[in-house]
Amino acid sequence: MMTLRICVLISGSGSNLQALIEARDSGRLDVEIVQVISNVASAKGLERATQAGIPCSIVEQSAFTGREDFDHALALLMATGSPDLFVFAGFMRIVGEAVLSAYAGRMINLHPSLLPLYPGLNTYQRALDAGDNEYGASIHFLTEQLDGGPVISQLRIPVEAADDVSSLQKRLAPLEHRLMVATVELFQNHKVECRDGYVSIDNESIDGPLLLEVHDKLKIA
Q: Which residues are catalytic?
A: 111
d(CA 221, CA 217): 12
CB of 118 to ligand GRF, least distance (A): 11
* Binding status of residue 189 toward ligand GRF by CB under 6 A: no
Question: Helices 15-25 and 44-51: crossing angle, nearest 10°?
Answer: 10
- What does the angle CA 201 – CA 35 – CA 119 come to, to the nearest 5 degrees? 55
- What does the angle CA 8 – CA 92 – CA 84 come to, to the nearest 5 degrees? 25
Tell me how crowded residue 72 is: count the other CB atoms within 10 A of its CB. 17
Q: Which is nearer to ligand GRF, 45 or 83 (CB)?
A: 45
d(CA 11, CA 38): 5
Site string for ligand GRF, 15-54 (x = CB under 6 A): xx----------------------------x---------
Q: How many chain residues touch ligand GRF (CB under 6 A)? A: 14
**Paired sense of beta strands 134-141 and 31-38, if any:** unpaired
Which range of residues in 54-62, 104-112, 157-165, 187-195 is near ligand GRF by CB under 6 A?
104-112
Q: Which is nearer to ligand GRF, 111 or 140 (CB)?
A: 111
Q: Which is nearer to ligand GRF, 16 or 35 (CB)?
A: 16
What would the DSSP string read from start to end of 29-66?
Answer: S-EEEEEEEESSTT-HHHHHHHHTT--EEE--GGGSSS
For ligand GRF, the binding residue among 12, 55, 96, 105 (CB under 6 A) is 12
**Quick one: which of 92, 98, 108 has its CA closest to 7?**
108
* Binding status of residue 136 toward ligand GRF by CB under 6 A: no
* Binding status of residue 176 toward ligand GRF by CB under 6 A: yes
* Binding status of residue 112 toward ligand GRF by CB under 6 A: yes
* Binding status of residue 137 toward ligand GRF by CB under 6 A: yes
Round the CA-based radius of gyration of the chain to a whole number and report it. 17
CB closest to ligand GRF, residue no: 90
For ligand GRF, the binding residue among 110, 182, 184, 201 (CB under 6 A) is 110
Tell me how crowded residue 144 is: count the other CB atoms within 10 A of its CB. 13
The residues that touch ligand GRF, with contacts defined as CB under 6 A, are 10, 12-16, 45, 89-90, 110-112, 137, 176
